[in-house]
Chain A
Amino acid sequence: MRDALRALRDGGLGAGARGAPLEVQPKGDQPPRLERATPLEGTSIQVRAVPGEPVVGFRAFLDGIQRSQVLAHAGGVPIVHGAVAAAIRVREARRMHTWGAPRIDQALYAPHALLEAALLETLLGRVRVVDTLRADGRSPADDPDAVPGARHPQELVARALTAVQRAREAAESALAADWVASGDGPLLVDGGTSASAEAARSAQVIGVVKSHRTLYADEAALPLLLGLREGERTTAMTLSSPRRHAVASWYLRLRDPASRSPLFGLVRVEAALVDDITSRADVVSRWLLAERAPVSLPDQRWDVMVYGIRECEQYLTAILK
């Protein structure tokens, strides 16, 4: 960030325009929704008690973090500094160690076309500046998310945040691919695996989704899903979307919600499609149930966050200065 601030100063921009982290600012998320999924076990979503005792199965944990904030405004265009990091932490003798090297990336995020040429040249001479209008490598014309001509500062900030998130996901995907190539043992990824072709296809990679703005259930299956008791899972289903790779997925209740929210302790698991998905889902569910201890308190998401992911997140927080 120091280099970025210096570059901005050299470009004639004041450096005192730091804002609060974007992650803590109110987001204009889409409303929660239900989405259909295709059952893999049977013809409809059912409830199934995970058979057997929890058993330790995961060898490693992958997580990524991001930080972004507006450093300056150039003619009303926000220039955002984004930093992302991802790492795999391997568990050996119950203690965690970093596998390989963490991936760390820092850059400025701004719409190139909306910046003065001289300023852009100055910035590019000093730091990497990601074009938020081409954040995923596509031109604005090809990007359905792009809004040509949009100059609203908040819209530009939102695009920058999206670009940072994609950078994080890219770092996570790249690490997951590395693990598939040379790692040894099951890897638990914080979030879905369907964004990465290697991860989605690998039997070594398991994704755990903790947030449920989209619930994959129709209205008939929803009460079953929300009524899961601790140690129960739904039958598996397959998820597919034009931008994601096909994976098997099921819901698992890690902890008894009692009188809490029906989403308490509920995670959605993503795994590669296999022939015997029932056995696979049972085994992976037993692995996840074994990760309920130690609890991830004081993290607010402790009911759905396994300790290995929290530990990985703390590690990344410590190294991302």
Chain B
Amino acid sequence: MSEAIIGRVVATERKPNTPHEFHFWTALDAPVGIGTIVRVETARPVGGLLPRIYGVVTEGFGYTDLQTPLHDVLGADGEPGASALAPTERTEIRLYTAAVLRHVPEEPLQPVPMGTVHLATEADVQVALRMDTYATGDTRRGIPVGLYRAGGTEAAIHLDADFLLGPEAAHLSISGVSGLATKTSAVEWLLASIFAHFPASKGKVAAVCFNVKGPDLCFLDQPASALSDEDRAIYATLGVPAVPFANVRYFAPWSAKGGQLATLRSNDALQENVQPLTWGLKETLQYAEVLLNRDDIDAKADALIDFIKERVVDQTFTDGVLERAHEVRSFSDLEQWFRELLRGLEARNADVWRTHHVATIRKVRNRLSNISTRCKGLVTDDGSVSDLPFKAFEDRAVYVVDVANLEEDAQDLVFARVVSQLREHLEKRQLGVEQVVVFVDELNKYAPADGPDTYVRKMLLDIAERGRYLGLVLFGAQQFRSQVHRRVVGNSGTSLYGRMDPDELATPGYQTLAPATKARLATLEKGQLMVRHPHFGQPIFVRFPRPAVLTGREGVERFPQAEELTIEQSVAKALRRLDPAITLGWVQDQLMLAGDDDDGVLRARNRTLQARPDDVKAFFKAQLKKRATPEVAGRRGPAPLRVAPPDDPYG
């Protein structure tokens, strides 16, 4: 326990102490600043016990015995340099305001008494932040978030896993200006810390990270170029291995041309754990609401879409209007179904089919059929699916879904479906892990405070409010916390703040912070965070190490993006992962023999990748042959002209 007295508590009628705030003065050279944790001791017992109060400095004042600046001007004869030559420095005070973190004992809760002020030791920090209740002992569940440093004291700051990942509270919100490596770095560091410290007794944990811009999360399995000794020391102190993530899997849709995956992690050396993310009709139609414009799709269209989802897709469908039985399993199947249905209605001169007006049918056909165009690369016409391994999530694994190169609609679709699948599998306890952290950057875009009530926003609100019971935990990052829906940030049990924009700090959400705390927030260095956590009575400033993974910027320099491939090269590269014996020449021969178009070749490739057959060459050739065979049943002649009834007076 620190015995050195660094200050004394003072209180005046104009500036009284309260149970939650007190004032103290220090020597001018005392190692105290905004964010320093201090301990107050008094010699006057209360109820037979000597109270001990812990607080964190939130404001500082310094002044001299000058009554007005004019006096200094007079004394210096108007020459600023003359003051520095004065033989005596004016009496100066350092007066600090501290917010109470904890009273020991907790009752009776009284104003902070006069007493001596000491710098908090490591043990004091544990008590002050109530970490003694969860970060020590056999049932410890502390997750290191950073290192508190002040006045020579270094203390590990732990978050309570029960309040970070549930079930007591959950979710994390991290805010900070862009470009200071705060948000992404902090999340990468915290995930590493979670993986290192999440108690095995609480089950398995995995993370799903959406890479929404650039190469931010593309190299989580690669070691950092150079960690400083200071960073390594923090890793050692906090008990987190300074190594990249051991188990990372990447998922990215195909590029629009289909030649390669739409990700900046396209270097040949890193393809081992990169998989396509492609969905067919069934997967997409389930979340059609995400992609359809609410202005276009009314209740009538909704009814038809529901009918198609329930009665048409993935089953044999027959109807008197149709010329044959249809099994709609892909967008191309659906297009054929629509085409035949409309042709049949025209042939019968019917305006309504099963209560659905022909105009509604045409509108829904138009909206649904362009989904595969709008989400090209993600949504396949042929129904081939390559998805995250729901039901087989692995402990301490990171699943990165790279949507950085997708259009906004497609990003929404990916986000909605992945999170919904996670939720469904967690509900059934079939995901493979008990806890999943979902990291979403730019949360203000997906769950904005203002704007339309989109499917994605509703889903995020649902996670924020009920996810902790399922083990579905949202780690959301945003530049401006004030622009994120208040129910999302309000349900975040833990909040991290990097350097903040002063304009953002002027918004009402930060009114509870002292001006000095805001000033510090506006000038935080890289690697510094302000932490709010349910156990901490006040925000705490911590330092965290640089993530032990390669940054996106360094990653794209070290692993340059692969050049755009020809279709033969793309197929050869993809199939070689299944069968290293496959050569570019063999692929060129097969494509020449098949004479198929590009879509057909890519379809064959996707089906092969999806099936992962033992004999890759034979399977691929069979797929090419399949496409080469004309689909007679699907080819119809032009629709006959409508014939007027014999009794039609206008015929």
Contact = CB atoms under 8 A, between A and B. Distances in A.
B90 A307 contact: yes
A42 interface: no
Which of A95, A295, A310 has the most chain B CB within a 10 Å cutoff? A295
Given A96-B91, A311-B91, A294 B86 contact: yes
Which of B65, B66, B71, B82 has the most chain A CB within a 10 Å cutoff? B65
A222 interface: no
A298 B67 contact: yes
A56 B87 CA distance: 6
B91 A293 contact: no
Contacts of B74: 295, 297
A198 B68 CA distance: 40
Contacts of B106: none
A94 B87 contact: yes
Interface size class of A (residues with CB under 8 A): 10 to 19
B86 A314 contact: no
B76 A293 contact: yes
Interface string B51-77: 000000000000001111001101110
Contacts of B72: 294-295
Contact of B91 (A291, A298, A314): A314
B139 interface: no
Interface string B76-104: 10000011011111110000000000000
Interface in A55-97: 56, 58, 91, 94-96
Contacts of B90: 294, 307
B234 to A, nearest CB: 37
Contact of B88 (A294, A297, A298): A294
A307 B83 CA distance: 13
A293 B75 contact: yes
A109 B146 CA distance: 64
Contact of A308 (B75, B83, B88): B88
Contacts of B65: 310-311, 314
Contacts of A56: 87
Interface in A281-321: 290-295, 297-298, 307-308, 310-311, 314
A291 B86 CA distance: 7
Contacts of B82: 293
B567 to A, nearest CB: 80
Interface residues of B, number: 18
Given A294-B72, A295-B75, A297-B75, A91 B88 contact: yes
B67 A297 contact: yes
A280 to B, nearest CB: 20
B88 A96 contact: yes
Contacts of A298: 67-68, 71
B71 A293 contact: no
A298 B65 CA distance: 9
A292 B88 CA distance: 10
Given A293-B76, A293-B82, A294-B83, A311 B71 contact: no
Nearest to B85: A293
B626 to A, nearest CB: 91
Nearest to B87: A56
Nearest to B67: A298
A292 B71 CA distance: 12
A282 B186 CA distance: 68
Contacts of B71: 295, 297-298
Which of A292, A293, A308, A310 has the most chain B CB within a 10 Å cutoff? A293
Nearest to A57: B87
Contact of B86 (A96, A293, A297): A293
B88 A307 contact: yes
Nearest to B70: A297
Interface in B285-343: none
Contacts of B85: 293
Interface string B449-487: 000000000000000000000000000000000000000
A91 B67 contact: no
Given A293-B83, A294-B83, A297-B67, A94 B88 contact: yes
A291 B75 CA distance: 10
A294 B67 contact: no
A316 B643 CA distance: 117
Contacts of A307: 86, 88, 90
A58 B86 CA distance: 13
A230 to B, nearest CB: 11
Interface string A265-291: 000000000000000000000000011
Interface string B25-58: 0000000000000000000000000000000000
Interface string A210-223: 00000000000000
A314 B65 CA distance: 9
Contacts of A310: 65
B521 to A, nearest CB: 33
A295 B71 CA distance: 7
B591 to A, nearest CB: 86
Interface string A96-107: 100000000000
Nearest to A295: B75
A91 B87 CA distance: 9
Contacts of B88: 91, 94-96, 291, 294, 307-308, 311
A286 to B, nearest CB: 12
A58 to B, nearest CB: 8
Which of A95, A291, A297, A311 has the most chain B CB within a 10 Å cutoff? A297
Nearest to A89: B88
B164 to A, nearest CB: 48
B365 to A, nearest CB: 86
Which of B66, B72, B85, B90 has the most chain A CB within a 10 Å cutoff? B90
Contacts of B89: 94-95
A292 B74 CA distance: 11
Nearest to A287: B87
A58 B88 CA distance: 10
B94 to A, nearest CB: 13
Interface in A37-57: 56
A290 B83 CA distance: 12
A96 B91 CA distance: 8
Contacts of A291: 87-88
Nearest to B28: A95
B74 to A, nearest CB: 6
A147 B251 CA distance: 108
Which of B75, B87, B90 has the most chain A CB within a 10 Å cutoff? B87
A311 B91 CA distance: 7
A3 B76 CA distance: 46
Nearest to A302: B71
Nearest to B73: A295
A295 B86 CA distance: 10
A91 B86 CA distance: 12
The 10 closest A-B pairs by CB, nearest first: A295-B75, A297-B71, A293-B86, A56-B87, A298-B67, A94-B89, A294-B75, A293-B75, A294-B86, A307-B88
Interface of A: 56, 58, 91, 94-96, 290-295, 297-298, 307-308, 310-311, 314
30 contacts: A58-B87, A94-B86, A94-B87, A94-B88, A95-B88, A290-B87, A291-B88, A293-B76, A293-B82, A293-B85, A293-B87, A294-B72, A294-B75, A294-B76, A294-B83, A294-B86, A294-B88, A294-B90, A295-B71, A295-B72, A295-B74, A295-B75, A297-B66, A297-B74, A297-B75, A307-B86, A307-B88, A308-B88, A310-B65, A311-B91
Given A291-B87, A307-B88, 18 more contacts: A58-B87, A91-B88, A94-B87, A95-B88, A291-B88, A293-B75, A293-B83, A293-B85, A293-B86, A294-B72, A294-B76, A294-B88, A295-B71, A295-B74, A297-B66, A297-B67, A311-B91, A314-B91
Interface of B: 65-68, 71-72, 74-76, 82-83, 85-91
